[in-house]
Amino acid sequence: MIKAQTSNDLFQRAQNSIPGGVNSPVRAFKAVGGNPRFMVSAKGAYMYDEDGNKFIDLINSWGPMILGHAPELVEKAVRDAIPNSLSFGTPTRKEVEIAELIVSMVPSIEKVRMVNSGTEATMSAIRVARGFTGRDKIIKFEGCYHGHGDSFLISAGSGAITLGVPDSPGVTKGTANDTLTAPYNNLQAVQTLVDANKGQVAAIILEPVAGNMGLVTPAAGFLQGLRDLCDKEGIVLIFDEVMTGFRLAKGGAQELYGVTPDMSTLGKIIGGGMPVGAYGGKTEIMNYVAPAGPVYQAGTLSGNPIAMSAGMAMLTYLNEHPEVYTQLEQTTSRMVAGMQQNLQQAGQQYTINQVGSMFSIFFTDQPVTDFDSAKTSDTTLFGRYFNAMLERGIYLAPSQYESLFVSTAITPEVADQYVQANLEALQEAHQA
């Protein structure tokens, strides 16, 4: 057994002063058993915890650390910015520069507003879509997660499903009534909802590649079908690219699949590890945002100079190094191919989904194309597998319903260590 005493002690203490001992539910090990590990530092492909354990990191802060931990170019940008004050509450040059860069990278974005998290981005985007269309309802998909805004905690994925609260208490009936849900990849279901709510749907929001029920890919024609429906019905199509933005391509999933939404939400990589989100889209829609227009949205620390410096360094690098995406795809495909071989060798049949540097193994023999099929996974088996991987120094997301994220710091050698650990963990999980 790897050491865990210090983490265990801290977790005991944490529970007295922090609800559940963590500042975000996905960090708890509730679904997999045991206590969370408290990290001290991380560099490149590795994280180090309070007990001196070293882990190969496959969550990468849930996405942002696409270049691995503490890349020098981002650290330097932050160091350089610090002496100039941590915040002004006035406009700065950096905000103009990062906005111009985002507009040049993301196909759907003509104007962009910076916020402090993915949650703020999605909450603001639907407010703007409602203001723009003068309609109240939104359609989201079962198992997609768009942050913890009230409107989205209906059939939500990620920690909400991991902890069994996809419909959170505290969300009013009125809000819940304005959120319509459809199964992912089911165009007919969306059409039926739109027909039943003619002229009332402001926006359709989705993860263009879903990462919050484990990784689920859009079926051929699904994204384009939504695009066509939205065009026909005057509905604002919003791609939530908080996970996929700057990860699947420099222009996100919309670039990869060639479908351009009306609005996009961003987070994670855009801040290089600092708390940043953004929403943007067509000029005619974004001009509804205050002070250009009547839809109010604001933030004391929005466009924070330190965060903008980190984000600018990260995005500039990705923009200038498209080979990053080829490398990430190759590393991830190597890992997935190794896992497929392992499954054959172990005589097991499980489903692995992958797009670029995102992937999930589902402990089910069925194809996983939506929330219902994701839920056929054996989560008890996943829990044993997770702990067997942890014992071998591999840090996975502590839930079946999350995607894993590969960074450029994962070399082919590290990828092979992962594959070897995967084989042993699959066998161990089955022996229990």
- Residues near ligand PMP, by CB under 6 A: 62, 117-119, 122, 145-147, 158, 207, 211-212, 240, 242-243, 267, 277
Burial degree of 317 (CB within 10 A; 0-12, 13-18, 19+): middle
In the complex, what is the shortest distance from the CB of residue 123 to ligand PMP, in angstroms, rounded to a whole number? 9
CB-hemisphere CA count at 13 Å for 256?
23
What is the chain's alpha carbon radius of gyration, rounded to the nearest angstrom?
Answer: 21
- Tell me the three state secondary structure of residue 97: helix
Catalytic (active site) residue 57: no
> Is residue 30 among the annotated active site residues?
no
What are the backbone angles phi and psi of residue 279, rounded to the nearest 5°? -135, 150
Asked if residue 240 lies in contact with residue 217, where contact means CB atoms within 8 angstroms, the answer is no
Spot the catalytic one: 30, 140, 268, 375. Answer: 268
Please identify, using beta-carbon distances, which residue of 124 and 342 lies nearer to ligand PMP: 124
Nearer to ligand PMP, 71 or 277 (CB): 277
Which tokens hold the place of 163?
């902890």
Is 416 in the active site? no
Kindly tell me which of 165 and 432 has the beta carbon lying closer to ligand PMP.
165
Contact 295, 261 (CB under 8 A): no
Nearer to ligand PMP, 277 or 281 (CB): 277
- DSSP type of residue 377: S
Q: What b/e string do you get for 216-245 counting C-beta neighbours within 10 Å, with b at 16 or more?
A: bbbeeebbebbbebbeebebbbbbbbbbbb
* Annotated catalytic residue within 57, 178, 240, 370: 240
Quick one: 68 or 118, whose CB is closer to ligand PMP? 118
Rounded Cα–Cα distance for residues 260 and 29 (Å): 37
Active site (catalytic) residues: 145, 240, 268
